[in-house]
Structure 1
Amino acid sequence: MAEVGTAVDDIDACVASWLANFESSLNGREASQTAVLFAENAAWRDILAFTGNLRTLHGRGSIEDALKVSVEREDRFAFRISETVSVEHNERTGRPALEVVFRFDTAIGHGDGVVRLIQDESGELRAWTLLTALSELRHDLTRKPNARPSEQAYEGADRRNWLDYREIEASYADRDPDVLIVGAGQCGLALAARLQQAGVDALVVDKHERVGDNWRKRYHMLRLHNEKGSNHLPYMPFPENWPTYIPKDKLGDWLECYAQSMELNVWTGTSCDAGSFDPETRRWGVTVSRGGRRRTLRPKHLVLAVGVSGAAKWPAIPGLEEFSGPIVHSSDYTNGARFRGERVLVVGSGVSGHDIAQDLYWHGASVAMLQRSKTIVASLRPGAEKVYAHYRSTAPLDELDLLNISVPYPVKRERARRLTEEISQLDSELIEGLNRVGFRTHTGSDGTGFQMQFLRAGGGYYIDVGCSQLIAERKIDVINAHSTAGFDAEGLVFNDGSRQPFDALVLATGYQPVSDTVSDLLGSAVADAIGPVWGLDDEGELRNICRPTAQDGLWLIAGGLAEARIFSRFLALQLTAEVSGIRLAGRR
């Protein structure tokens, strides 16, 4: 292998040489020769291209072991440097490296990748991080897109117009879908849109009366706390004149518009009552109720796009059932108008707890927050904005997404730690003000802040949009749960026997795990077999999200809008391959 020079031509030649060696050793099934192209502490994230899964391999030894198992005799690969993205020397991941975006071809499709090359002690060029991601399947191997009537067909003898054909298509009167998606939020719709583009027949069902109600029916003042640029859905970006932080009703209306514009088949007002998988026919039987009628659908694949949470979680606090005033869970909270002039205790200090406490204060309530555990807090500006700065670039969104997912877990964790330290310095006055009044903060179990907390637990943090200042100024009181013994009919009881009366309680205490939803719909045996959903596995990948589960034909997708856009692509690829009879590399 060549050493890296300084001239552009020399750099390009060295990069091309590394890719050529990588291609040659892979095609020659020389696992040890491939592994030696990596640094000892390298990390290779593969999404469907080699392992048939979402995996991150840590260290040269693990990479060699995986290659011995994954790369088969018939697999052939061809790599080439991207023609649209220049090789760049940067420190995006915390250390100097040559960042190379490339394309590659496999027997079944095409992929995109990013490699970051560093020089070892001898001056040899080796991979420090590598991403390989399958991005599309060969069109000649997949089923053709569903035939849509031509303009001339609309003028035929049957006099059916576009709306007539859409109603027939969405009725499923004479067929079952290939894929049944439960949940018409951002994840379910993004997946349905990608499947439609691939020609896979997908039906989305949702319990709400309108698409977007999962956002509209949340508390009145809710808006996104991350920037518009990171939140576009596939094929239809938000208009440029939209606000940076999108209000929940505006987002709900957009989801409804998205489903209509993308011509997705969606049944609203539809509940899923029960489901079971038939191993002989390899189809599901899912009973749904819609408009007073029940029907059993028999799709090949079932996707739960119901988020990472299940039913509302009511905390096990002594005496809670004795409280005589109204108790409202955050899932049922709309606004604070009904609590004007009342003493209200908000139980919980995550995003919902803060937003609701702030809304109650604005509506004239006397508000206290019961903090049960330390909370990660970061300012929206200038703190959390730094996390989303990547998406302020003018580069194409697909390129930004590729660079985003190219950072493997160990590097992402260290980058999050450095960024959290920077945000903590910027927010020092904010944090000191909170700590002064008894609000307990931290930066995560390993100092990686709200970014990693979201991936690990889905909650336990707050991006400040004004409530922290109210707390620091004692306009919203803070009560440490460790000082309390529970509730009685009048309010909160403290360990010393004293009491603080409240007129109402709002429980911002989160939700049951989505595995409970799996159990309710498909049975405890299925839920136990697939195990926990969300959170990170030993390799740093999300558990059971957009990847095969232990139950044949069962898939899950969850996350915010960015996760919906990025990972719906990979779940759609897997479902398209399954429906088309294509075996992904690395799958047996």
Structure 2
Amino acid sequence: MRPSNDVPFDLKTDNGSDLGGDRQTTDTRSPTEQLAAWVERLGQRLAQRDIDGTLELFADDCHWRDLVLFSWNLITLEGKADIRDLLESRLEATQPDNWKLEGEASLTDGVLEGWISLETDVARGKGYVRLKDGLCWTLLTTMRELKGHEEPLGRRRPLGAEHGHGLADKRNWLEKRRDEEAALGITEQPYCLVIGGGQGGLGLGLGARLKRLGVPTLIVDKAERPGDQWRGRYKSLCLHDPVWYDHMPYLPFPDHWPIFTPKDQIGDWLEMYAKVMELNYWAKTECVKASFDEAEGRWTVEVLRDGKPITLKPSQLILATGMSGVPNVPVYPGAETFAGQQHHSSQHPGGDAWRGKRAVVIGANNSAHDICADLVENGADVTMVQRSSTHIVRSDTLMEVVFGPLYSEDAVEAGLTTDKADMLFASIPYKVLPQFHRQAFEQVKERDKAFYDRLAAAGFMLDFGDDESGLFLKYVRRGSGYYIDVGACELIADGTIKLKSGPGLGVDHIEPDAVVLNDGSRLPADLIVYATGYGSMNGWAARLISQDVADKVGRCWGLGSGTTKDPGPYEGELRNMWKPTQQQNLWFHGGNLHQSRHYSLYLALQLKARFEGLDTSVYKLAPSYHQG
């Protein structure tokens, strides 16, 4: 997914002088030697606290993405002025050292790139760097582990067996595990309370990392069993992302696992995961309300566990209720008179009961398509109401053109691990990402032109995002407005799923047996499904804590790109996700399985550092935007 350049960059060096100076000779060294020299020079200048000299190593168009290592935050620095500000603020506190190039560098289309490792005063890190014309274009630095607080893996793994006689603690593993489960939340308070234990493994993946790091953590969820958030959905549901993209921390799916996991299978996997990873998980537990005591630095959280009220006192509260917030359920005139059944897509159980009935689905994104296809499969007469354009990409094409270089069997066979794939994806700053993805989605348009022509001929409104950058940018900017096609589009193209579409089209009112649109159309209905999306995740904060706290945090998700449904100002990272918020000790964890897997590491390290009492002064805590 590397962007092509109109004029290829000639990678040259200053032959030993400062890289900001004139470049007079072509570098005859190997790419690895060139990049190793740059990394060494960067380390030297930082060690000398030579900020001016350090900035000479960066291009004017430069981007430094730091995930916790320097900032105790998730930030992207854009331009030399931003980098100067970070270094002036954080260089003494972090004391970066031991910068090294790891492995071989590569040089393609004028971009010299490779892996790096480094250390700070309290942590070890990894990163990725790209140079153009000998100067840094993009730099990624990430915290990977805290010194003195490493995970007990490899040579640090526990012994397990207790050999010898006369041991003070005679309990075996099972007895210790049962005692831990009985105590946490009852006689011992968790340091972290995670609200939400399913729907993509959001709470489970984070909980597993915190468990490995020795942070007392309790996960609560209202479902009866881990994985029920998936089991309760309509029966045809499968993950739309491929298996290589969806692995969970520590326990990847086995190599026979299906490419697209059926909902009940992922539900069973999550239940197994919670047990094998020894997570402290309270099922059938609903969070009723929460409040924060500024003086104590702790939360008071009221929950109902199997109907019994319990008060918890965690220090850190993590809302892991999914990327989406509270369901958006529109209120249309006359809805209370509807004689059939109406519900939000999140409550749709499946199409089994609707054979021979008339269904109207309001919306035209992922859930709407899946539900329409499910209803048609079960013999219903279905009409989709499309109110604005939708980005569509065929699953096969997405896998080959977009996912393929990082997440595929080809990538695995080429030696690309999931961790390295995640790091490579993260190494492309959001400001730069559109130019990478526009190229990929130009290939998508060309490859599937006939497919798009058939959809357009049926009246379906299509887009590729405001700037033609495609699926992932739409996802991170607004979390909606797209569908990964697994078959429903052909049903629209051939008329099996009826379509009403048009700019500004909407519901005027609802009658006892029909939906009436604002163009005068009357759609007879026995079932109405509102596939109308979700609000911001801070809606859960408003519901569980208070509207004041939700407003203090502001909007969750989105980059502030100024594109549709992603209002500015620009932030450069996903708002309030996996990082400190304006509300002390309140965190948000969400996204797809890939994001949950990767970013749970950085969230867990931030929480572990606070648990251990380390100095976690946050660089540039993001302000709150778009309250209410």
TM-score past 0.5 threshold: yes
The answer to whether residue 111 in structure 2 is matched with residue 97 in structure 1 is yes
Which position in structure 1 is the counterpart of 2:468? 447
The answer to whether residue 179 in structure 2 is matched with residue 168 in structure 1 is yes
The answer to whether residue 139 in structure 2 is matched with residue 126 in structure 1 is no
Which position in structure 2 is the counterpart of 1:371? 386
The answer to whether residue 251 in structure 2 is matched with residue 242 in structure 1 is no
Which position in structure 1 is the counterpart of 2:125? 111
The correspondence of residues 246-325 of structure 1 with structure 2, limited to 5 A, is 246-325=261-340
Picking from 116, 122, 144, the partner of 1:135 is 144
Shift of the alpha carbon at 1:11?
3.1
- Over residues 286-315 of structure 1, what are the superposed CA-to-partner deviations in whole Å (9 max), with x where a residue is unaligned? 111112322211111111100122333212
Q: In structure 2, do the counterparts of structure 1 residues 495 and 190 end up closer, same or farther at CA, with 3 Å as the change threshold?
A: closer
The answer to whether residue 600 in structure 2 is matched with residue 568 in structure 1 is yes
- Over residues 32-61 of structure 1, what are the superposed CA-to-partner deviations in whole Å (9 max), with x where a residue is unaligned? 221121111111111111222111111222
Shift of the alpha carbon at 1:514?
2.0
Alpha-carbon distance in structure 2 between the residues aligned to 1:283 and 1:516: 21
Which position in structure 2 is the counterpart of 1:57? 77
The answer to whether residue 547 in structure 2 is matched with residue 524 in structure 1 is yes
Which position in structure 1 is the counterpart of 2:523? 500
Cα pair 1:317 1:486 within 8 Å, conserved: yes
State the TM-score, normalized to the length of structure 1.
0.93
AA matched with 1:281: E
Which position in structure 2 is the counterpart of 1:181? 194
Shift of the alpha carbon at 1:587?
4.7
Cα pair 1:154 1:161 within 8 Å, conserved: no
Shift of the alpha carbon at 1:318?
3.8
Which position in structure 1 is the counterpart of 2:624? none
Picking from 387, 396, 401, the partner of 2:417 is 396
Alpha-carbon distance in structure 2 between the residues aligned to 1:494 and 1:273: 38
Q: In structure 2, do the counterparts of structure 1 residues 220 and 143 end up closer, same or farther at CA, with 3 Å as the change threshold?
A: closer
Alpha-carbon distance in structure 1 between the residues aligned to 2:142 and 2:176: 36
Alpha-carbon distance in structure 2 between the residues aligned to 1:325 and 1:581: 57
Shift of the alpha carbon at 1:320?
3.1
SS of structure 2 residue aligned to 1:86: strand
SS of structure 1 residue aligned to 2:423: helix
Which position in structure 2 is the counterpart of 1:351? 366
Alpha-carbon distance in structure 1 between the residues aligned to 2:294 and 2:220: 24
Picking from 610, 621, 628, the partner of 1:578 is 610
Alpha-carbon distance in structure 2 between the residues aligned to 1:197 and 1:338: 45
The answer to whether residue 45 in structure 2 is matched with residue 32 in structure 1 is no
Which position in structure 1 is the counterpart of 2:510? 487
Cα pair 1:146 1:199 within 8 Å, conserved: no
Which position in structure 2 is the counterpart of 1:361? 376
AA matched with 1:488: E
Cα pair 1:5 1:11 within 8 Å, conserved: no
Picking from 473, 486, 490, the partner of 2:494 is 473
- Higher-RCO chain (CA-CA 8 Å, sequence separation at least 6): 1
AA matched with 1:89: L
Shift of the alpha carbon at 1:150?
4.3
Which position in structure 2 is the counterpart of 1:553? 585
State the TM-score, normalized to the length of structure 2.
0.87
Give unpaired runs (5+ residues) of structure 1. Answer: 120-124
Cα pair 1:378 1:462 within 8 Å, conserved: yes
Q: In structure 2, do the counterparts of structure 1 residues 156 and 65 end up closer, same or farther at CA, with 3 Å as the change threshold?
A: closer
Q: In structure 2, do the counterparts of structure 1 residues 239 and 174 end up closer, same or farther at CA, with 3 Å as the change threshold?
A: same
Indicate the RMSD between aligned Cα atoms, in angstroms: 2.4
Alpha-carbon distance in structure 2 between the residues aligned to 1:366 and 1:155: 73
Shift of the alpha carbon at 1:396?
2.0
Alpha-carbon distance in structure 2 between the residues aligned to 1:346 and 1:586: 45
Cα pair 1:357 1:369 within 8 Å, conserved: yes
Alpha-carbon distance in structure 2 between the residues aligned to 1:324 and 1:76: 67
Alpha-carbon distance in structure 1 between the residues aligned to 2:73 and 2:554: 17
Picking from 193, 206, 212, the partner of 1:191 is 206
Cα pair 1:384 1:423 within 8 Å, conserved: no
Give unpaired runs (5+ residues) of structure 2. Answer: 1-13, 16-22, 561-569, 621-628
Q: In structure 2, do the counterparts of structure 1 residues 294 and 499 end up closer, same or farther at CA, with 3 Å as the change threshold?
A: closer
Alpha-carbon distance in structure 1 between the residues aligned to 2:190 and 2:401: 43
Alpha-carbon distance in structure 1 between the residues aligned to 2:148 and 2:275: 26
Alpha-carbon distance in structure 2 between the residues aligned to 1:276 and 1:154: 48
Which position in structure 1 is the counterpart of 2:98? 78
Shift of the alpha carbon at 1:529?
0.5
The answer to whether residue 68 in structure 2 is matched with residue 68 in structure 1 is no
Cα pair 1:29 1:73 within 8 Å, conserved: no
Shift of the alpha carbon at 1:207?
0.8
Cα pair 1:492 1:502 within 8 Å, conserved: yes
Of stretches 133-142 and 62-71 in structure 1, the one that deviates more from structure 2 is 133-142
Which position in structure 1 is the counterpart of 2:430? 409
AA matched with 2:477: R
Shift of the alpha carbon at 1:486?
3.1
Cα pair 1:336 1:359 within 8 Å, conserved: yes
Alpha-carbon distance in structure 2 between the residues aligned to 1:112 and 1:375: 38
SS of structure 2 residue aligned to 1:409: coil
Alpha-carbon distance in structure 2 between the residues aligned to 1:327 and 1:420: 37
The answer to whether residue 32 in structure 2 is matched with residue 12 in structure 1 is yes
Cα pair 1:370 1:479 within 8 Å, conserved: yes
Q: In structure 2, do the counterparts of structure 1 residues 441 and 154 end up closer, same or farther at CA, with 3 Å as the change threshold?
A: farther
Which position in structure 1 is the counterpart of 2:565? none
SS of structure 1 residue aligned to 2:407: helix
Which position in structure 2 is the counterpart of 1:420? 441
Q: In structure 2, do the counterparts of structure 1 residues 315 and 309 end up closer, same or farther at CA, with 3 Å as the change threshold?
A: same
SS of structure 2 residue aligned to 1:511: coil
Picking from 572, 589, 609, the partner of 1:540 is 572
Count of matched residue pairs: 576
Alpha-carbon distance in structure 2 between the residues aligned to 1:404 and 1:213: 30
Q: In structure 2, do the counterparts of structure 1 residues 460 and 494 end up closer, same or farther at CA, with 3 Å as the change threshold?
A: closer
Q: In structure 2, do the counterparts of structure 1 residues 105 and 498 end up closer, same or farther at CA, with 3 Å as the change threshold?
A: closer
Cα pair 1:378 1:384 within 8 Å, conserved: no
Alpha-carbon distance in structure 1 between the residues aligned to 2:517 and 2:581: 46
AA matched with 1:398: D
Alpha-carbon distance in structure 1 between the residues aligned to 2:280 and 2:93: 41
Alpha-carbon distance in structure 2 between the residues aligned to 1:221 and 1:328: 18
Cα pair 1:143 1:199 within 8 Å, conserved: no
AA matched with 2:203: G
AA matched with 1:551: Q
AA matched with 1:178: Y
Alpha-carbon distance in structure 1 between the residues aligned to 2:490 and 2:150: 58
Alpha-carbon distance in structure 2 between the residues aligned to 1:441 and 1:461: 9
Picking from 485, 490, 493, the partner of 1:464 is 485
Identity %: 38
Shift of the alpha carbon at 1:383?
3.5
Cα pair 2:291 2:299 within 8 Å, conserved: yes
Q: In structure 2, do the counterparts of structure 1 residues 302 and 497 end up closer, same or farther at CA, with 3 Å as the change threshold?
A: closer
AA matched with 2:356: G
AA matched with 1:303: I
SS of structure 1 residue aligned to 2:41: helix
SS of structure 1 residue aligned to 2:104: coil
Which position in structure 2 is the counterpart of 1:122? none
Alpha-carbon distance in structure 2 between the residues aligned to 1:493 and 1:197: 55
Alpha-carbon distance in structure 2 between the residues aligned to 1:42 and 1:531: 29
Q: In structure 2, do the counterparts of structure 1 residues 430 and 168 end up closer, same or farther at CA, with 3 Å as the change threshold?
A: same
